[in-house]
Amino acid sequence: MIVLSVGGEGHGAADRAVERCPACGSVQLEPVLEYRTPERNSFCRACGRCWHVELGQVYRITPPICFGCTERPRCEAVYAEDQARAQGH
Ligand SMILES: [Zn+2]
Ligand SMILES: [Zn+2]
């Protein structure tokens, strides 16, 4: 059995953009380039959450640090909802 490695493996994997939303599983992720930084973020069109990849880990971006976000109002609204839910409402 031959397994073809399509990029990803080895070096370069750490800064790949998010391929699938960790929250809703959607693949409708759009790259968000942060203002004047080489950081690479992804905005999920399906649920409105923004993600950041660092060292192979995916982190949720909070609206205050979501620079360059093109969907800010939605990003903030969804985050506020998630916070309320996390507090048991
Ligand atoms: Zn999503
Ligand atoms: Zn955002």
pLDDT tens-digit readout, 4-15 = 544 444 444 445
pLDDT at 17 over 80: no
pLDDT digits (tens, 9 = 90+) for 57-81: 888 999 988 887 888 999 999 999 9
pLDDT tier for residue 22 given thresholds of 50, 70 and 90 = very high
pTM: 0.73
Name residues whose C-beta falls within 8 Å of residue 53's C-beta, 6 or more positions apart in sequence: 14, 15, 16, 17, 18, 40, 42, 59
In the chain, where are the structural domains located? 29-86
Q: Which residues surround ligand 2, an ion (CB under 5 A)?
A: 50, 66, 69, 75
9 alpha carbon – ligand 1 mean position (Å): 24
Q: Tokens representing 38? A: 């080489």
Give the strand pairing for 57-60 and 40-44.
Answer: unpaired
Can you give the pLDDT at residue 28?
94
